[in-house]
Amino acid sequence: MTNLYLRNLQLELTGFRKWCLGHYTSKKLGVIIFWVMLLNIVPIAGEIFSLLWQKIHKHSRQRFEQEFVIFEALNGVATLFYVFDAFVGLVAIGCRQYFHSHGNKIDFFVTTVAAGQAVFDIVIISAFRTDYPFEFIYALVTMSCIRLLRLIWVILSGIFISIMDEACSVIYNAYDFGTGFVIANEEIAKGATKLVEYEPSADLAQFTAENNIALALSYLEDIESKFPDVTCAWKTQRAAVYVLRDMKHAVEKMLDIYMLDETDAEMLLEDLSLKIQDILCAPKHMPAKTEVRHLLKNVPWIKDENVLDMIMDNCTICSYSDGDTVHESRTKQDDVKIIASGILQVSGVNDGSKDKSLPNTDSLWYFLKTGTFCEYLISPETLGILGYLLRSNSVTSTVCTKESQLMNVSYRTLEEAENRFGDLSFRMWRPIALQIAQFILEEEEVYEYWLEERIKIHLEEGIFPDLSDTKEFEVHEAIADMVLIQGNALDSETEVLYTGPTYIPSTVRKLYLIDDPASRPRVVMILLREEKYHSQTLMGWIKPKDISYKGLCLVHGIRRASLYGVEQLQEALGAHRSSFVQTLGEIFTKTKEGGILQSDASA
C-alpha cells in the first residue's frame, strides 16, 4: 500500500518535491545508505577500541586525539548521508506521512543525534584544540553508538519480515489452493448433468462437489477470520492481476486492429507480464480493514457514502447458528440481508418455465440448468435483491451451514434511500444481469472459443437500454447481438418470441416488446456491440434515443484522436466517461513529445 501511495504521489508532484521523491524511493540510494550504516561500524568500533586502549596502556594522549578526530570525521561523512536521506523524505512526502512509519521515526532520531554529534565535534575542536576532556569524549562515543540503532532496526525488521513472509506464504498458499478447489468443484456442480449422461452418476458427482464446496468454504472462512491480513493480500493481488490481464487483452485487441505494431505490442505485453510477476511476488500479508462499514463498501449496489450511512443507521444484525433456516421457499421477503460472516446454503428447483418476470432467487445458479441446484454464499453476498426488485415470493430456501451474522436492511429503508439519493435499481440489476448473461453466452456457438475472461470484458462494455416506455426497438448496426435478461420481445421480421433470460442473435434488427409498458416488469437487456466498435461506458439506464453511436469505430476513433487530440475528440463526441480501451490507447500510444502514435495500416 505504501509503494502504491508513493507511485501515485510521484505522478502528482512536480519540481523539487518530485526530484526529492525520486531519490527517496530510489533503490540505489537505499543500497548506499545501508552500506554507509554498515561501514559506519568501523569508526564507532575504532573509537571504542582507541578509548579502551588508551585507558589500559596509557599511550600518548596526542596520538589518541588524532585517531579520535579521524574517526569523528568519518562519522561526519556518514552523517551527511543520513541528513540527505531524511531531508528528501520530509520534503517529498511531508512530515505527517513521513513520521507515520516507525522506521522513519528511528531514522530521524538517529539523524538528529548524528547531526548534534557533528555540531558537538565542531564546538569541542574549536574550543579546546587539544586535550579534550574525557567527559566530552565519552559523550561523543555514546552518541556514535546510538547510530547502531538504525542498523539494528533495519536488520531486525528485515529478519522479521522474512520470517513473516515465510509463515504467511504457507497460509496464503493454503487459501489459494482452497479457493481453487472451490472453483473446480463449482464447475463440476454446474456442469455435471451436461457432461455425464447417466443421471444417477451425474447426481452423485453434483452431490459430492457440493459437499466439497461446503467443507472447503468452512476452512476458508476460518482462515479469513484468523488471518485477515493474509487473505486481504490474496484478494488485493488477485484483483490487481485481473486488471493487468484486462490491460493485456486490450493491448492484444489494439494489435489485432493494427493500432500498435508488433514491436510496441510485445514491449507492452512484456511489461505487463513483469508487473504481474511483481504482484505475485509481493508480500503475502497487508493491513486489512475488518470493520462492518468497510465490508459494506464492497457491496456493489451501495453507490455512495450517503446510502452507506443510511444503511448503517437503520440495519439490524442477526446471528444464526449452524442449521438455522434464514427463509423458506415460496415465502415473502421483507428485507435484504447482507452476509457479514459465515456460510449460507441456497437451494431450490428450476422447473424450466419462463415468464415475463424473473423468478425471485437468491442463487443465480438457478439459471444454469433445470432441476435441483445448491449454491453456497459467503460475505459480502446479498440475499433478497431480486425480491426487492420484483416484489415476488422466493423460489429458493436458505440455511446456515456455519454460525453466521446477517445485516438486515428493510425494503422501507431502501425505498427511502432511493427517494433521497436516487435510483438504486441499475446497481442492483447490473451484477445480476452480467452473471446471467455470462451463463447464456458460454452456451452459444458464437462464443464457443471465447475465454471466460474475454466474455466478461465484452459484457462489461455492454449497454443497458432503458425500455420502460418503449414498444418498438430498432437495433443499430453497431450492435452485434443482445442478451434479454427479463421480459418478452418479438422479432418483428420472423415473429420469433424471445423470453428472458435468453440470447438474441445478430440477425434480429427490430424488436417489438409485446407487454403493456404500464404493467410489465422492467425489461432488462444488454446490447453487445461489435468488437471493432468503441463506445462510452456509462453506468446507468440509457434511453434508446440518448444512446450515441457517433464515432463508435475503434480504428477510426483512435485515428481521429491522433489528428485532433483526445480532448477535442471527447468534446466532439460528448463523452461522459472513456472506456478502458480508449484510456489504454491514450496512455500507451503517446510518444515522449506527447503525440499519438499512428499506425501505417489504413483504417
Task: Evaluate whether 415 touches 453 at the Cβ level (below 8 Å).
Answer: no
Domain ranges of the chain: 1-132, 167-281, 292-422, 435-573
Ranking 89-98, 128-137, 312-321 by mean pLDDT, the lowest is 128-137
Task: Give the three cell numbers for residue 418.
Answer: 432511493
CATH code of domain 292-422: 2.60.120.10
- Dihedral over Cα of 186, 187, 192, 193: its sign: positive
Task: Give the three cell numbers for residue 26.
Answer: 530510489
Name beta bridge partners: 542. Answer: 465
Task: Evaluate whether 441 touches 447 at the Cβ level (below 8 Å).
Answer: yes
pLDDT at 404 over 80: yes
Kindly report, residue by residue over 334-385, the tens digit of the pLDDT. 899 999 999 999 999 998 888 889 999 999 999 988 888 899 999 889 999 9
CA distance from start to end of the chain? 42
Task: Give whole-number Cα distances, 551 to 535, 555, 559, 561, in Å.
Answer: 8, 10, 11, 11
Distance between CA 365 and CA 347 in Å, rounded? Answer: 9
pLDDT category of residue 537 using cuts at 50, 70 and 90: low
Per-residue pLDDT, 557: 45
Which strand (E) or helix (H) includes residue 326?
A: strand 325-327
**Of residues 81, 97, 205, 220, the one with CA closest to residue 151:** 81
Which strand (E) or helix (H) includes residue 512?
A: strand 510-512
Q: Is the peptide bond before 359 cis (omega within 30 degrees of 0)?
A: no
pLDDT category of residue 132 using cuts at 50, 70 and 90: low
pLDDT at 65 over 70: yes
pLDDT at 310 over 60: yes
Taking each helix axis as running N to C, give the angle between helix 411-421 and helix 305-314, from 0 to 180 degrees, rounded to the nearest 10.
150
Strand 335-341 and strand 472-474: pairing? unpaired
pLDDT at 464 over 90: yes
Q: What is the DSSP letter of 230?
A: H
The topology under which CATH files domain 435-573 is Jelly Rolls (2.60.120)
Ranking 67-81, 93-107, 244-258, 403-417 by mean pLDDT, the lowest is 244-258
Q: Can you tell me the mean pLDDT for 549-558?
A: 50
Q: What is the mean pLDDT of the chain?
A: 83
Task: Evaluate whether 581 touches 574 at the Cβ level (below 8 Å).
Answer: no
- Left if phi > 0, otherwise alpha if psi is -120 to 50, otherwise beta: which for 242? alpha
Per-residue pLDDT, 7: 65
Q: Can you tell me the mean pLDDT for 217-226?
A: 91
pLDDT at 137 over 90: no
Per-residue pLDDT, 476: 85
Per-residue pLDDT, 574: 42
Q: Do domains 292-422 and 435-573 have the same CATH topology?
A: yes
At residue 542's C-alpha, the angle toward residues 541 and 547, to 5°, is: 155
Kindly report, residue by residue over 475-529, the tens digit of the pLDDT. 888 888 999 999 999 999 999 999 989 999 999 999 999 888 888 999 999 999 8
Name beta bridge partners: 335. Answer: 410
Q: Is the peptide bond before 228 cis (omega within 30 degrees of 0)?
A: no
- Dihedral over Cα of 488, 489, 495, 497: its sign: negative
Each as own residue / partner, the long-range contacts of residues 185-194 (CB below 8 Å, 24 or more positions apart, any chain) are 185/209, 185/210, 185/212, 185/213, 185/216, 186/213, 189/213, 189/365, 189/374, 190/365, 190/368, 190/369, 193/369, 193/371, 194/369
Task: Evaluate whether 373 touches 365 at the Cβ level (below 8 Å).
Answer: yes
Ranking 37-51, 113-127, 226-240, 321-335 by mean pLDDT, the lowest is 113-127
pLDDT at 593 over 90: no
Strands of 335-341's sheet in order across? 316-320, 404-410, 335-341, 382-383
At residue 210's C-alpha, the angle toward residues 280 and 184, to 5°, is: 30
Distance between CA 176 and CA 534 in Å, rounded? Answer: 36
pLDDT at 579 over 70: no
pTM over 0.85, yes/no: no
Kindly report, residue by residue over 185-217, the tens digit of the pLDDT. 998 988 888 788 888 888 899 889 989 999 999
Higher per-residue confidence, 534 vs 472: 472
